[in-house]
Structure 1
Amino acid sequence: MRVQAIGLMSGTSLDGLDICFAVFEKKDNWSFQILKAETLPYHQNWEEKLRNSIHLSSEELLELHSEYGFYLGQKVKEFIEKNSLENIDLIASHGHTVFHQPKKKFTLQIGDGRAIKLETGLPVIYDFRSQDVLMGGNGAPLVPIGDELLFSEYDACLNLGGFSNISLKQNGKRIAFDIAPVNIVLNRLAQKFNKNFDENGDLARKGKLNNDLLAKLNSLEFYNLPHPKSLGIEWCNESVFPLFENIKTEDAIATFTEHVAQQISNVINQNTLQNVLCTGGGSYNTCLIEKIREKTEFGIIIPEKEIIDYKEALIFAFMGVLRMNNEINVLSSATGCKEDHSSGLIC
């Protein structure tokens, strides 16, 4: 079996739209090759639209769902034409998360897949999370199916994006869970210095550790919950951002970076993980990576840039391939739903 697919990923940190065109082959095992990939930064108006989407009325949100779907379709079409891509079997789109409340049985990723299909004329798979939430799962993390079938040579896969999550084998099963917020918090703090993000962790290095804030962050109830578990922006707005009041922003960045490093290293050390593949935008935060390495006994592996930047988009393309073949693409051991399943709407 040989399939060529495009994966689309828009993370909660609003770094931009990741587009990944890859070929997947299955002989004894699955293998992949990234053929073309690109990140399209959001123009200010789109960044503001997506950032403020959580505050929209239902009517406005439905309008944005459609508008963003056409935007995705246009961007994919431009990507295909610019790179003269051919023989594309499908597009798999994660969409952009607005709400994520699995305990209330709903999650929402906007960007109507039908609009993408209308723009491109290609089969589209989208809305990968809702079915899992309806089945009692967290709807996250979903990438463990790719970690299991495409990156099995590593003890664990750690993603440092808007949120950090990890997947690993435990008692013969692939488990996964969110660890802590990362760029969803650090980027917002960096914006107070008119920066989109804390490049290389330079702002964190300038700040001072606030031990009182660190203790409050580490004592948040989420960190004591058993896995599977997942986080959303609502949790950050309620539990994290209020803690920064009356604290210098550079000190908040320094302290939150330390907090993230502690939470991640706790997970790595508790599970005695020896080679951990680290991807996502936070992999470029050298201050954060140094802190994690200081606190762990084993190896944090930073791969080539292509994998750092596009692993999530790659895996959503792969999930689309599995869905088109009606194969399992969501692991119950990772999300907590009642059984493994094949998820995603096809159009």
Structure 2
Amino acid sequence: MNSAIRQGGVLRALGAMSGTSLDGVDAAVVETDGHLITGFGEHGYRGYSNDERRILRAGLGVWTGEPVELAGDVVDVAHYELLSGFKDVDIVGFHGQTLAHEPRGRGTLQVGDGAGLAAALKRPVVWDFRSDDVRMGGEGAPLAPFFHFACAKWIGAKEPLCFLNLGGVGNLTYVDPGFDRPEEVGALLAFDTGPANAPVNDLLQARLGLEMDRDGEIARGGDVEEGALELFLAEPYFARMPPKSLDRNDFAEMIRLVGELGDSDAAATLTGMAAAAVVQGLEHCPRPPARVLVTGGGRLNPVLMEMLRVGLDCLVDPVEEVGLDGDMLEAQAFAYLAVRVARGLPTSCPGTTGVRALVGGGVVSFSGT
């Protein structure tokens, strides 16, 4: 790793994210010194084919063996095809694909060969962001909060606010922009709220062969089954104090709760569960946020957004309202975190993952080293 990366100054960092929704790979450039964001650069997307998505689904919840190897091959090829098209990049943040996540059990598993990608791209690659945090007693997730803190500074926020990512799983970051650094006690609180898009996606894939409930069209025609919602909110996870995190399939029984409902009622109920989990989660915030900024695919579902606006006593807006890109925020996060890792700065703290001490997780590889 060259001295320019280790030293101060602004770098053009390229981040990549393949999330639990299994739709594809996002990639985006962030200009940063690891503290402040100075600008956002170009971005791109590479969708997974149906065959690739099938291979990735087969690897979910699996820790070893052929399904993991095949999933890793898909992730490596997709990322190289996308990332090789970016020019004038100093460093790459490569999250890989989470297949399994048990921070209190077997650990966490993100497939993807960061060293091989570094050799292929001829760029330093930071990867395996979560393992050190888990080894230190943390949840290993969520990891975007330090970036969210930088985003709050970038938009000039003065009051506490929340960033809500609604991907396959929902996660929330409470930010108090009155602090100078994200690792200060009280600056951040982060945790997974509960399942978000994954149960709806899985239900519609199984029943109708659809990837998602586009624009909430199916849920809009149904009613929430209140009994199923009450059973869902009785799950012990919601009573646990944060930080806390989930695996994509931790709430797989949600599908069974709506198993006898029609398609529209089932989709409405699963969407209602995702919103109710967020409403419940905000009760853990140290102070009521002035605003909730929503990122991830869930912000494009008007039914889910309306449920959040009804349930929360604050403004609820997509992040585009403050000039951010909700499709690319997670990829941008790993660009930002890559610079922090390379410069020895922390990427998680007790308030974000529950880790015992500040951790700058991640492996840095250059030309395959």
Same fold by TM-score greater than 0.5: yes
Aligned to 2:313: 297
Residues 234, 209 of structure 1: alpha-carbon distance in 2 compared, 3 angstrom cutoff:
closer
Aligned to 1:151: 152
- Find the aligned partners of 1:325 and 1:286 in 2 and give their Cα distance: 41
Name the SS for the 2:244 alignment partner: coil
Q: Offset of 1:225 from its aligned partner? A: 1.1
Where do 5+ consecutive residues of structure 2 fail to align? 1-8, 177-184
Q: Which of 189, 193, 201 is 1:187 aligned to?
A: 201
Aligned to 1:70: 76
Question: What percentage of aligned pairs have identical amino acids?
Answer: 29
- Find the aligned partners of 1:176 and 1:220 in 2 and give their Cα distance: 19
- Find the aligned partners of 1:342 and 1:241 in 2 and give their Cα distance: 37
Query: Does 2:39 correspond to 1:24?
Result: no
Query: Does 2:248 correspond to 1:233?
Result: yes
Name the SS for the 1:122 alignment partner: coil
- Confirm or deny: 8 A CA contact 2:33 2:339 kept in the other structure: no
Aligned residues: 339
Q: Which of 182, 188, 213 is 1:174 aligned to?
A: 188
- Confirm or deny: 8 A CA contact 2:84 2:121 kept in the other structure: no
Deviates more, 1:145-154 or 1:40-49: 145-154
- Find the aligned partners of 1:110 and 1:71 in 2 and give their Cα distance: 12
- Find the aligned partners of 1:175 and 1:253 in 2 and give their Cα distance: 30
Name the SS for the 2:20 alignment partner: coil
Question: Could you list the per-position Cα deviations for residues 249-301 of structure 1 after superposition, in whole angstroms to 9, with x for gaps in the alignment?
Answer: 32111112112222212333664211121111100001110111112221112
Aligned to 2:216: 201
Question: Could you list the per-position Cα deviations for residues 277-330 of structure 1 after superposition, in whole angstroms to 9, with x for gaps in the alignment?
Answer: 111110000111011111222111213286110111101110000001111111
Question: Could you list the per-position Cα deviations for residues 79-125 of structure 1 after superposition, in whole angstroms to 9, with x for gaps in the alignment?
Answer: 22xxxx22x11111111010100011510000110121122111111
Aligned to 2:107: 106
TM-score norm. by structure 1 comes to: 0.91
Residues 245, 59 of structure 1: alpha-carbon distance in 2 compared, 3 angstrom cutoff:
same
TM-score norm. by structure 2 comes to: 0.86
Residues 69, 113 of structure 1: alpha-carbon distance in 2 compared, 3 angstrom cutoff:
farther
- Confirm or deny: 8 A CA contact 1:77 1:119 kept in the other structure: no
Residues 207, 156 of structure 1: alpha-carbon distance in 2 compared, 3 angstrom cutoff:
same
Aligned to 2:300: 284
Q: Which of 264, 271, 287 is 1:250 aligned to?
A: 264
The structure that is helix-richer by fraction is 1
Residue identity in the other structure for 1:188: D
Where do 5+ consecutive residues of structure 1 fail to align? none
Q: Which of 307, 315, 327 is 2:325 aligned to?
A: 307
Q: Offset of 1:218 from its aligned partner? A: 1.5
- Find the aligned partners of 2:68 and 2:145 in 1 and give their Cα distance: 30
Aligned to 2:3: none
Deviates more, 1:255-264 or 1:267-276: 267-276
Question: Could you list the per-position Cα deviations for residues 121-165 of structure 1 after superposition, in whole angstroms to 9, with x for gaps in the alignment?
Answer: 111111101111111110001111111223242511111111111
Name the SS for the 1:233 alignment partner: coil
Residue identity in the other structure for 1:246: E
- Confirm or deny: 8 A CA contact 1:22 1:35 kept in the other structure: yes
- Confirm or deny: 8 A CA contact 1:208 1:254 kept in the other structure: yes
Residues 136, 14 of structure 1: alpha-carbon distance in 2 compared, 3 angstrom cutoff:
same
Name the SS for the 1:346 alignment partner: strand
Deviates more, 1:267-276 or 1:89-98: 267-276
- Confirm or deny: 8 A CA contact 1:283 1:302 kept in the other structure: yes
For the aligned residue pairs, the C-alpha RMSD in angstroms reads 2.0
Aligned to 2:11: 3
Query: Does 2:347 correspond to 1:329?
Result: yes
Residue identity in the other structure for 2:149: E
- Find the aligned partners of 1:40 and 1:283 in 2 and give their Cα distance: 20
Name the SS for the 1:308 alignment partner: coil
Name the SS for the 1:234 alignment partner: coil
